[in-house]
Amino acid sequence: MEAWFAVLALVAIADAASISGSTHFDTIVVGLGASGTAAATELAHAGKRVLALEAQGRVGGRVNTVSLPGDSLVEMGAEWIHGQDSSVTYQLALDNNVTVLRQELNTITLRSDGGVVDAAFMEDIMNFAMPLMEEDPATPEPLGAFMTRRIKSYIKERYPSFYADEDFIQQLLVFIDLIVDSHVGSNNWNDSTTHTQYVTLGGNQEMSWHVYGYKTLFEIMMNTYKNGPGLPSLTIELNKEVTSIQWPQDSESKVVVRCKDGSEYTSDNVIVTVSVGVLKERHASLFSPALPQDKVDSINGIPLGVVDKIVLLFAEPWWPKDTFMGFVWKGEDREKVPEEDKWTTMILGANPPMSCERALTLWTCGEVAKHMETLSEEVVKAKSVELLEKFANRTIPKPVGFVRSTWYSNPYTRGSYSFDSLTSPSHPSLRPSLASPLTDSAGKPRVLFAGEATNPIHYSTVHGAVETGRREARRLLGQ
């Protein structure tokens, strides 16, 4: 399923051999997700000798395009380009004549007893509720508290008969909470703040790489798209887990990077692009000398949310075409679900991905996603089918393919994307401080940091990650 990455790796390793005998590089990039790939390729384009060390057996990190039986692609990580205006990723697609398309889904809101929520009501409520995520009341408060208050008073005023159904309102709020969580990455909408630093790019928020796959972004950056020749001064090593980064205080010594397999490389500087979740777990053993306290505070203070996908492939679609099916429980049905299956009541809904109309993606977040990751694939598949049958109020065909993400258990990600917690408004410099390089006595940057979490305004996205990779490459190029 990762054949294209393997091909890239072979090309790159052949290049490495041509400069064999030397293990010193201008720059070592740790991690080949969106930010690392952007940094490494920008430096290589400028003629720098770059070594990119990636722990996993593929390029892409939190972008992971996988093939399902029958040659259809699905995205287990990032799905869309969020916004078009000034988007570095949208621009790369345009420049390379890759037609990304807006994914437009109809919505239908199903209930656990087989009923359907009135479509006009739902549309009005969601059109009111979703923009609340962008509002910024004078006093920061938990997003959930703010949205609950506003949504309740809106429904009370306009839809008194719906408002009178307390259980419905309760369950509807749980549903909207889950939608917010899947956007933000939070476990509960009260874990994130109304006062977020995130800046939304103009234009459509759901631009899809559809049948090309998000992997195309990496082929473009690495100059391998359409059989491009790659970048001669970029050496890529996959399955290379970095375990230690020794950085000098004096201006003469080199940076020494060691890997789990015992290999050792030196460079003038290193760009670290691992997720803030990986940093939380390993910074103490990874860096020598240890990171300064402000860096550690940033690492601890920026939460990394978890969003997971469960993808079921069917012989043919049995659901209404191009439709997101939202799941709003009835309290009594939710209670009847056995304890061990309660996680299924926190799956917000399902929709076909744009790359494959025979597939359905079910979305989970936070603690529920973490729990889902611990269950066997057989259980997750069977319970997902049960859930779909309950809400669709019919029997459905047996899936012919299955894949689910495990972004939290993956030791090289430990989560999906970062968000602004309740304490973020009083600590506005967490992300800039994570982004600031460690310098030697001559003031030269030796250890630089990129990755979505280091982006003060476009964190949690692919375009935001690419921006940070370019930022650090340009810092080294003196631009």
Ligand X SMILES: *[C@@H]1O[C@H](CO)[C@@H](O)[C@H](O)[C@H]1NC(C)=O
Ligand Y SMILES: Cc1cc2nc3c(=O)[nH]c(=O)nc-3n(C[C@H](O)[C@H](O)[C@H](O)COP(=O)(O)OP(=O)(O)OC[C@H]3O[C@@H](n4cnc5c(N)ncnc54)[C@H](O)[C@@H]3O)c2cc1C
326 Cβ neighbours under 8 A, 6+ residues apart: 107, 108, 109, 110, 122, 175, 179, 348, 349
Size of the site for ligand Y (CB under 6 A): 40
Report the C-alpha gap between 85 and 68 in whole angstroms: 32
C-alpha of 219 from chain center: 19
- Taking the complex as a whole, the smallest distance from the CB of residue 100 to ligand X amounts, in Å, to 14
**Of ligand Y, ligand X, none, which one sits near residue 319, judging by CB under 5 to 8 A according to partner kind?**
none
- Residue 139 binds to ligand X (criterion: CB under 6 A): no
- Taking the complex as a whole, the smallest distance from the CB of residue 74 to ligand Y amounts, in Å, to 11
Q: What residues pair up with 199 in beta bridges, in sequence order?
A: none
Number of residues assigned to the chain:
479
Please write down the long-range contacts of 470-475, taking CB distance under 8 Å and 24 or more positions apart: 470/38, 470/39, 470/42, 470/88, 471/435, 472/39, 472/271, 472/437, 472/448, 473/38, 473/39, 473/40, 473/42, 473/43, 473/46, 473/271, 474/42, 475/437, 475/445, 475/448
- Taking the complex as a whole, the smallest distance from the CB of residue 474 to ligand X amounts, in Å, to 23
Decide whether 375 or 396 has the Cβ nearer to ligand X: 396
Tokens linked to 136: 């910024």
User: Of residues 370-399, which lie at the interface with ligand Y (CB under 6 A)?
Assistant: none
Query: Would you give the binding string for ligand Y spanning residues 218-257, x where CB under 6 A is met?
Result: -----------------------xx---------------
- Residue 403 binds to ligand Y (criterion: CB under 6 A): no
Using the rule CB under 6 A, which residue among 48, 49, 62, 381 binds ligand Y? 62
Using the rule CB under 6 A, which residue among 207, 462, 473, 476 binds ligand Y? 462
Do you find a cis peptide bond into 289, omega within 30 degrees of 0? yes
DSSP string, 101-123: EE---EEEEEETTS-B--HHHHH
DSSP string, 156-167: HHH-HHHHT-HH
Using the rule CB under 6 A, which residue among 23, 91, 96, 205 binds ligand X? 96
Decide whether 180 or 245 has the Cβ nearer to ligand X: 180
- Residue 353 binds to ligand X (criterion: CB under 6 A): no
Query: Would you give the binding string for ligand X spanning residues 180-199, x where CB under 6 A is met?
Result: --------x-x---------
Which range binds ligand Y by CB under 6 A, 56-64, 65-73, 378-386, 428-436?
A: 56-64
User: Residue for token digits 């996603």?
Assistant: 369
Report the C-alpha gap between 239 and 244 in whole angstroms: 15
User: Are β-strands 445-449 and 264-272 bridged in parallel, bridged antiparallel, or unpaired?
Assistant: parallel
User: Of residues 113-132, which lie at the interface with ligand Y (CB under 6 A)?
Assistant: none
C-alpha of 136 from chain center: 24
Question: 3-class SS at 408?
Answer: coil
Using the rule CB under 6 A, which residue among 18, 20, 97, 127 binds ligand X? 97
- Residue 406 binds to ligand X (criterion: CB under 6 A): no
- Residue 414 binds to ligand Y (criterion: CB under 6 A): no
Contacts with ligand Y, residue ranges (CB under 6 A): 30-36, 53-56, 61-63, 77-80, 82, 241-242, 273-275, 278, 307, 309, 405, 407, 412-413, 416-417, 451-452, 460-463, 465
Q: Which residues bind ligand X (CB under 6 A)?
A: 96-97, 113-115, 142, 144-145, 148, 177, 188, 190, 393
